[in-house]
Structure 1
Amino acid sequence: MKIVIQPERHSEILMEVIPVFEGGKVLHVCNSCAARVQRFIKFGRFDASLGSTYKFTKEKDLGAIKEEVYVGLGKEEEITSERIRKAVSMAIKEVKKLNVEKATVRFIDLDDISTEEVVKAIAEGAVLGNYEFNNYKKIKEGRVFLNEIRIASVAQEKVEAAEKALQEAELLINSTIFARNLVNEPANVLIPEELAARAMAAGKESGFQVEIMDKNQIEALGMKAYLEVAKGSVNEPKLIVMRYFGDEENKEDVTALVGKGLTFDTGGYSLKPNDSMVNMKSDMGGAAAVIGAISAIAKAKLKANVVAVVAACENVISGGSYKPGDIIGSMSGKHIEIVNTDAEGRLTLADAVYYAAEKEKASRIIDVATLTGAALIALGTSTTAVVTNNQELYNKLQSAADSCGERVWQLPAFEEYKELNKSSVADIKNAGGRLAGTITAGLFIGEFVKDTPWMHLDVAGTAWSDVEKAYITKGGTGAAVRSLYYFVKNN
């Protein structure tokens, strides 16, 4: 979708989104709009609560029709960039119903929120709210797609800042959509080899290097835990390593982003029920996030060094699959007791984070994974759970997430939780039981990062949505792409 900054409103506008605060305050007020809003409120048609909408149609000169969608911003004293993002996305959903190609959104000029933040919020809300995954659907003949948004009534002295902010917003929008598309692809299409190919294509487009390692190379690295998960599938694993070095003067300062890359997960011999398995194409949501993030980082030419690692494979059943009760090795040399073959993502991540620390010499490691159902029980679908061994690292992530409207929440990492992962027959077991499941899963991964500052993001609840929620559309969400980008940019 094309997004344009437009300093002035033009009389030929035929589709306009008009933001309104509760009480009826219209920004960039025109007398007719203000009067209409008061009538809508008086007769109970529109209350301007956050995300509420009302469509008004009027005739213009020469019989032309102008459509106006009024959208509520809620209480003026509660306005944030995230509330703008949500409101605009709700308005765009109404606009789409009108089968128009172009729409204008009035700029929201505020004292407490910068021009840059407002522009990003409008652009992200509009485009991400308009997202559809139609790769395998026949499009109805004659359907009109919304393909251009104009952000209008931007004061001339703010246009330069608005256009600069829009460039960054488009990077993040496109990278988020790229991640969504990866997650939404069916598992029979996005096998590990295909995920690797798409990472390679993203590297060529965005400007980062990509190295793809095959099974023999993975074996040579000693990544035994990763290979145990992968060996049940006819689709061979691919270790995807992406490198962007934008700070040549500080080559030793490297941030590693490690994404869980299970392109499908049956649970192995600890088999999932069908209802839990049907959306397991999304089990590579962490991989999608880190590929999307490094794409945005490279395109923006940030002054930073980033290595992204994805240990891609499938967890399926065959005569060669690993089993509950097995004791397996790992790249670190630690032996792992398998108590649950559905706790497979942490096994691939154990080798992947160790690789990042040992071979890529990462200064800090952030892993992103659709890891535990316990994360949904604890935090639902709106918030990403975080476990870390470094408080400063988490504080920086919190700031990055706040800047883009994503929600994260730190879970405790007390020594008592590590006790739950202890094994009587091996160095560690791969599941600590039902209690504190998100924490013990994260701490398992933390045992393989050596002494590196590390943070684990469990996006099991946020990387996929079963329902539409404002700019979060059904299916893959692209969660964590923007937070990771801002984390790297600001640090």
Structure 2
Amino acid sequence: MPLQLAYAADLPQSANSVFILSADTKELSADLTDLPEAARQYVHEQLASEAKLITVNHFTHQHYFVVAAKKATPDLVAEELRKTGYQLHALLKATKVQELYIRDLTTAGTAALPLAEGIYLTAYQFEGYKTDAKSKAPARLARLILTGAGVSAEQVQELEGLLQGVYLTRDLVNAPLNKLNATQFAERMAAAGDEAGFHTEILDMMHIETLRMGGLLAVNLGSPEPPTFTIMEWKPENARNVKPYVLVGKGVVFDTGGLSLKPTPNSMDLMKCDMAGGAAVAGVLYALAKNQVPVHVIGLVPATDNRPGGNAFVPGDVITMYSGLTVEVLNTDAEGRLLLADALAFARKYEPEMVVDIATLTGAAARAIGKEGIVAMGTADEERLHQLKQAGHRVHERIVEFPLWDEYADHIKSDIADIANLGKTDAGAISAGKFLERFIEGYPWVHLDIAGPAFLTAPDNYRGKGGTGTTVRLLYDFLKAQVQGVIMVS
């Protein structure tokens, strides 16, 4: 069972509890009635020595004291609390705490939710496929209860719904190909829709061929498994937007590189994560539906694996895309943009308010900014990009904008087709974005390249190891702010 979040008006005595203190706290609040004088003095001494995480062991229960950090912005204070949640989780695990109360004693009263968020995301474990009882996970934290006047039951419930969407995305990204081919991926997204309340339609091979989605079909040629094109829709009756927001996610469930075979190790062996963009779209829809956010959103996920078998497409092929444009294939490992291009052209039928695509698209993006950020580019106006960046700061999934200057169109010129699927040696992330731009018509668009942060080979605080679920919290925050009509600026 995943970790549960709950709300309680009061904090019971002798409960495992964490108290969050303001950065300038010198004395403990008098309402900590079950703290003996000796323990209170110990905490005072630790505060005087500027300790940030203090533990008091009462043997029957534990008390923890977290000191909120002084940072330049509230967003950075919240991020530091998430990281403290990661550190605190290690202590909870060591002492086998299964239920923890969180009480915010800070002046601002905004610390409980980010601390709980950090603990919750750290507590994620991919259940996997272990059968040996010795290898199964031991008893772990099962319940977090937030208390006090500074937080409401509705806020706690919303946070849980959002983080369940992150968990869903992580589970999908961490699943191997033999447990999650394109059909199984689509079925998992449909099951998530049934659970959360959004509608799902799965287009099979026949539908995809009828639509003439040449990019998706070309990439699928080498696979023994058929492709899918999943359409998810969350359209509540009280949706505040007239035109839908459309999210497009790359769904390459495994990428060998095709005939332009990737080297292994350190390249191909991690490619089960190449559908992280599609998984994120499912996670966002799940969170929006679970929390009944009044926004109309459509998710599009074209899915296949990319293999060198059978009648695989080859460098030099020319394919006709759903939009009618022709593409010269210079490298079969530049396949994600082919799937996305068909989906982006398909998105036009919805007359969208805005389209955002999410993809582990280029190693160039990862090399440029590492796992610390997300590369963005697009045709959306400065105000929308600013709003998206602000959402990135609030959830600490920060965005770095790359240009799409006209000169970059030269990078994808072809002698025999409208465009080529590969650019020059330089500016690889941008030439991929420039390729996608050719399929955009009639709507604002932003491309998010998540190749750096989507999958981590070593633990990175609350983001963990493996699939991180990146962009779920970002896009949830952004879309919620859009329909509220209020953009919270730090």
- The two structures have a TM-score, normalised by structure 2, of 0.89
2:333 aligned residue? 342
Q: Following TM superposition, by how much is the alpha carbon of 1:396 offset from its aligned partner in structure 2, in angstroms? A: 2.2
Q: Quote the Cα distance in structure 1 between the aligned partners of 2:72 and 2:438.
A: 46
Q: Is the alpha carbon distance of 1:300 and 1:7 closer, same or farther for their aligned partners in structure 2, counting shifts above 3 Å?
A: closer
CA distance in 2, matches of 1:110, 1:333: 59
Where does residue 383 of structure 1 map in the other structure?
A: 373
1:311-357 CA-partner distances (Å, limit 9, x unpaired): 01000111311111111110111111111111100000000110111
Q: Which residue number corresponds to residue 47 of structure 1? A: 51
Say whether 1:143 aligns with 2:138. yes
Match of 1:104 among 101, 104, 112: 101
Once the two structures are superposed, residues 253-280 of structure 1 have per-residue CA deviations (whole angstroms, 9 ceiling, x without a partner) of 0111000000000011111111201111
Residue aligning to 2:404: 413
Report the equivalent of 1:10.
12
The answer to whether structure 1 residue 425 and structure 2 residue 422 are counterparts is no
Map 1:255-270 onto structure 2 (within 5 A). Answer: 255-270=245-260
CA deviation profile, 1:13-52 (whole Å, cap 9, x unmatched): 1x3334456676476465655532344477x8x732xxxx
Q: C-alpha separation between the residues in 2 aligned to 1:86 and 1:27?
A: 23
Deviation at 1:484, TM superposition (A): 1.2
Amino acid in the other structure paired with 2:267: S
Match of 1:180 among 170, 176, 190: 170
Counterpart among 96, 106, 120 of residue 113 in structure 2: 120
* Other-structure match for 1:471: 462
CA distance in structure 2 between the aligned counterparts of 1:75 and 1:319, rounded to whole angstroms: 59
Q: Distance in 2 between matches of 1:404 and 1:26?
A: 31
2:103, 2:112 within 8 Å by CA — same for their partners in 1?
no
Equivalent position of 2:488 in the other structure: none
Q: 1:317 to 1:10 in 2, by over 3 A?
A: same
Which residue identity lines up with residue 115 of structure 2 in the other structure?
I
SS of match in other structure, 1:424: coil
Residue 37 in 1 paired to residue 32 in 2?
Answer: no
SS at match of 1:279: helix
Does residue 90 of structure 2 align to residue 93 of structure 1? yes
Could you say what secondary structure the match of 1:89 adopts?
helix
2:36 aligned with 1:75:
no
CA distance in 1, matches of 2:287, 2:73: 30
| Equivalent residue letter for 2:436 | I
Residue type of the partner of 1:86? K
- CA offset at residue 250 of structure 1? 7.2
CA offset digits 1:366-404 (Å, max 9, x no partner): 100000111111111020110111223312211222332
Q: Which amino acid aligns with 1:282?
A: C
**Residue pair 1:58, 1:67 contacting (<8 A) in 2 also:** yes
Aligned to 1:132: 125
3-state SS of the aligned residue for 1:188? helix
CA distance in 2, matches of 1:404, 1:263: 27
Q: Could you say which residue in structure 2 is the equivalent of 1:62?
A: none
Once the two structures are overlaid, the 10-residue window that deviates more, 474-483 or 96-105, is: 96-105
Alignment pair present for 1:322 and 2:326: no
Aligned mates of 1:33, 1:110 — CA distance in 2 = 23
The verdict on how the C-alpha distance between 1:94 and 1:78 changes in structure 2, with shifts beyond 3 A counting, is farther
Contact 2:27 2:44 in 1 (8 A): no
Residues 69 and 94, structure 1, Cα contact 8 Å, conserved in 2: no
Q: 2:487 is matched with which residue? A: none
Give deviations 1:132-190, integer Å, cap 9, x for gaps.
Answer: 112223454792221011224x13xx4xx521211110110111101110001111101
- Aligned to 1:440, the other structure's residue is in SS state helix
Shift of 1:129: 1.1
SS in 1 for 2:447: strand
Alpha-carbon distance in 1 for matches of 2:368, 2:71? 32
The yes-or-no answer on 1:305 pairing with 2:296 is yes
CA distance in 1, matches of 2:305, 2:364: 22
Contact 1:225/1:328 (<8 A) preserved: yes
Q: What is the aligned partner in structure 1 of residue 485 from structure 2?
A: none
With over 3 angstroms needed to count, the CA separation of the structure-2 counterparts of 1:142 and 1:214, relative to structure 1, is: closer
Q: 2:425 is matched with which residue: 423, 434, 444? A: 434
CA distance in 2, matches of 1:321, 1:302: 43
CA 1:139 to 1:398, structure 2 compared with 1: closer, same or farther past 3 Å?
Answer: farther
Unaligned runs of 5+ in 1: 60-64
| C-alpha displacement of 1:56 | 3.9
Q: Alignment length, in residue pairs?
A: 469
- In the alignment, the residues of structure 1 paired with residue 104 and residue 10 of structure 2 have an alpha-carbon distance, to the nearest angstrom, of 10
AA matched with 2:138: R
1:415 shift after superposition: 1.0
**1:23–1:47 CA contact under 8 A, matched in 2:** no
Mapped pair 1:233 → 2:226: no
Aligned-residue identity in percent: 34
Superposed CA deviations along residues 428-480 of structure 1, whole A, max 9, x for unmatched, are 11111221111111121111021321000001111111222221110111110
Does the C-alpha gap of structure 1 residues 255 and 249 become closer, same or farther in structure 2, counting only changes over 3 Å?
closer
